Amino acid sequence: MSRRAVAIAIAVTAPLAAGVAYAVHAGPGPSTPAAAEVATGTAEVTRGTLEQTVQIAGELGYTGSYRVDHQGPPGLLTASAAPGATIGRGGILFRVSDDPVRLLLGAVPAYRDFRYGMSDGPDVRQLERNLVALGLDPDREMTVDRHFSAATARAVRRWEASWGRESWQRTGRLTLGQVIFLPTPLRVLTQPARVGAAVGAGTGVLTGTSTSRAVIAQLPVADRGGVHVGDRVEVGLPDTEPIRGRVTQIGQVASTPPGTAGPDQPPDPDAATVPVTVTLALPRDLSLSQAPATVDVVGRTRDHVLLAPIAALLARPGGGYQVRLAGGALTEVRLGAFDESSGRVEIETGLTEGQSVEVPAA
């Protein structure tokens, strides 16, 4: 009886490396085609420092998402900031029946009239900070606190004078709807209400973002434990050198991208992601407003660990990994952390420093 040829294919399935298959033959057989040989080289197992890096895809854009609602009395929208415009502190967002609605900066929404004799509150402190920033308290008469004082009213009158109001028209008061507080200057995106339309309290007039540039990336939930606020990152953008940045915010609500499951199938939990905001200092000559980005998040640093190329890893039948030594023998390895940026993996057991392992030839 002729011996039947046996071919065993072992594929590299390291999480971040391309697979390479090796074939081991027990003997030639008349009906078995010869397996294609794979060119290989060797790499030395070394000790060194491993930075556990998570690589995620993102997009360069702007932070924040804001909707601007009219809060004053009903009327006709007679003017509105155009998409692409940037409205800063004190600037006009829109006009209702030709009365301007101005932007001030702060986290507390306007919810009442501002006037002398009103009760104290954080909204008053917020207003006074804006009046100082606009240069409307030149003699420093006003104390920035929760109290609307006579000095606060004088600062408001100065602001009214800068609008072109005559002295007899200056009230020292701001009625609800005259000012809108947002955390940042507004970069206008859309105009939900058309000029000439009737608007009332709660009507959405503008949408926009902040003027701060950032990369918004989608982090797989499975990698959530490896990324933290404050982690340093390197951001890759088209036609630029890597740019350093930091993780400033990680979302708490996971979402699943569309198309990961059929209409009658539940969402794939492995595809769920959370948004990650990365701030960075962009080059002054960078003209990109939006662009795809790659974010390398540098997490834990592990010193004096045993390191081998990710490309040397082979899948073991039944699970786990092995590598082929330079002499041809297979040895099982237990893995630690991966460093995607350098293409190395920590070897916890199975190899010693100085050994050589097979890798695909360059």
DSSP 3-state assignment of 126? helix
With 0-12 CB in 10 A as exposed, 13-18 as middle and 19+ as buried, what is 6? Answer: exposed
Residue 134: HSE in the Cβ half-sphere, 13 Å Cα cutoff? 25
Give the pLDDT of the chain (362 residues) as one tens digit per residue: 433 333 323 233 333 333 333 333 333 444 444 445 678 889 999 999 887 777 889 999 998 899 999 999 999 999 999 999 999 999 999 999 999 999 999 999 999 999 999 999 999 999 999 999 999 999 999 999 999 999 999 999 999 999 999 999 999 999 999 999 999 999 999 999 999 999 999 999 999 999 988 999 998 888 787 788 988 889 999 888 889 999 999 988 888 866 555 556 655 666 789 999 999 988 887 777 788 999 988 767 788 999 999 999 999 998 999 999 998 899 999 998 887 777 889 999 999 999 999 999 86
Residue 343: predicted pLDDT: 86
Domain spans, the chain: 40-61+212-259+273-362
Residue 23: predicted pLDDT: 33
Do the bridges between strand 179-182 and strand 99-105 make them parallel or antiparallel, or are there none, so unpaired? parallel
pTM summary value: 0.66
Residue 327: predicted pLDDT: 86
Distance between CA 145 and CA 131 in Å, rounded? 12
Residues 6+ apart with CB under 8 A from 279: 63, 212, 213, 214, 245, 246, 248
Count CB neighbours of 221 within 10 A.
Answer: 15
| Fold of the domain spanning 40-61+212-259+273-362 | Elongation Factor Tu (Ef-tu); domain 3 (2.40.30)
Residue 269: predicted pLDDT: 62
Nearest to 86 by CA among 175, 235, 224, 212: 212
